[in-house]
Amino acid sequence: RQVGADVQAVEVRLGLPVVGTVPALPPKALPALLAAADGEEVPDWQLALAESLNTTRMILFPAGGTAAPVRTVLVGSAMSGEGKSSLALQLAVSMAQVGYRTLLVDGDVRRPGLHARLHLAN
């Protein structure tokens, strides 16, 4: 199936617009993202992820600020293991890199893990 058709189906079914899509990532992609050093060759999947996140950020926070600013973004899904934390982390990084004041809150009360991914104390 084509991604465009899936996006349209979601929008019709939910009656809500899809803000962005992200590519499927290879297993254990997050450690590679966090460990990437300046000057290293970037894999294609990492470029595709960055592009999709930057596009999503620009849709949420368009240049010029004519609309009311978005103050909160919630990343959620129905099942565990679908990449909510990874997506939230990468979107927060994308926003901070262009100068937005960004606060990332790990709302997983059962198994919080963002602090560990960032090598921080809980």
The per-residue pLDDT for 29 is 67
For 21-38, write each residue's pLDDT tens digit. Answer: 877 777 666 566 655 555
pLDDT for residue 91: 87
Can you say how many angstroms the Cα of residue 27 is from the centroid of all Cα atoms in its chain? 16
Distance (Å, rounded) from C-alpha 53 to C-alpha 6? 18
Separation between Cα atoms, residue 14 and residue 27, nearest integer Å = 29
pTM, rounded to two decimals: 0.70
Q: Which residues of the chain have pLDDT under 50?
A: 1
